[in-house]
Amino acid sequence: MADSLSLFSNSIVSGSISSTSLPGEPVNLKTNNSYSSKFDILKISESKPGFPFEGSMQAVEDSIAIEEPLEIIIAVVGEERMPLGITMRTPSNDRELVVGFMLTEGIIRHYDEILSIEFVGPETANYGLKNKVVLRLKSDKALDEKKFQRHFLTTSSCGICGKSAIETLGLMHKRETESAFPGIPHRILFKLSDTLKQQQIQFSATGGQHAVGLYDNRGELVCIREDIGRHNAMDKLIGSLLSTGFMDFAISIVCLSGRASFELVQKAIMANIPFVAAVGAPSSLAVELARKHNVTLLGFLKENSFNIYSGQQRVVED
């Protein structure tokens, strides 16, 4: 049995990463690249009443979502460096992930604060990746370690959460504009989860990736990103849009393929996105945070129903 579970090829099925990326490079918002690998597995099935075949054990090839660490280091003019932490992510759109992370963690407010982004260190033997990135800011101010105390080892399943962070977020975030958000009809919201699912290329291949999509107020998909970590998918989405000079966050909707955690609502707030719709359930902290910051939060979004947990004023009947 051990021989049957050997790695096929460590092959990268889709996606690409450049070792050095600079602000201003073109970003394709509709191209949802990601990494997956082929593994040799055993598929077990059991017989069921009414089925004409018995249970079986088969050796088959399976696509697995790749999970790799990415160490993020911040630097300023003068080459002073400070490690922010390590996140476990699916390699792809890594430059956008870092840009989004910098914005949603309150380290930058605008894309033009970034001088360069460079992937450094030795390449991994299995996938040829560089799992360390240095982001240089244009600032020449000394780095304040206390400012970045929230940034330490995170996992792919969840970012860094905590009730005290609600107060911290209030200090970090100041809404730049209070744009008039048009009421979104039920019929538009009912379509979001299905549209998102149709574009989840990597989830269809591996079953192991979360997706986040950004829609305009007419329900048209603007951008989608996937990752093994839901918070990484959100950072990739925001970083992708920020890199293109996108300015309509305040009149957009973000749709989540799973649950709405505190971390995801926090990142939406930091990007000035006032409307979050989740296919799954919200957490208690997510609801508290959404209500505190006047964010519309929907949960259990389906093709014919959803729950409103906050911000009812942005939802209208047809």
Indicate which residues carry an active-site annotation: 158
Distance CA 20, CA 237 (A): 20
CA-nearest of 255, 251, 249 to 301 is 255
Alpha carbon separation from 136 to 82, 83, 139, 150, 266 (Å, rounded): 11, 12, 8, 19, 24
Q: Where are the beta strands (DSSP E) in the chain?
A: 20-21, 36-45, 56-65, 68-75, 81-89, 114-123, 130-137, 184-185, 210-215, 221-227, 253-256, 275-278, 296-299, 307-310, 315-316
Please report the sign of the dihedral spanned by the C-alpha atoms of residue 111, residue 113, residue 116, residue 120: negative
As given in the structure block, the two tokens for residue 221 are 């998909």
CA-nearest of 194, 150, 169 to 301 is 194
Specify which residues 15 forms β-bridges with.
Answer: none
Distance CA 315, CA 272 (A): 18
| Residue 97 backbone dihedrals phi, psi, to 5 degrees | -60, -45
Distance CA 132, CA 148 (A): 18
CA-nearest of 294, 261, 259, 257 to 275 is 294
Query: Rounded to 5 degrees, what angle do the CA atoms 58, 62, 66 make?
Result: 150
Distance CA 38, CA 28 (A): 26
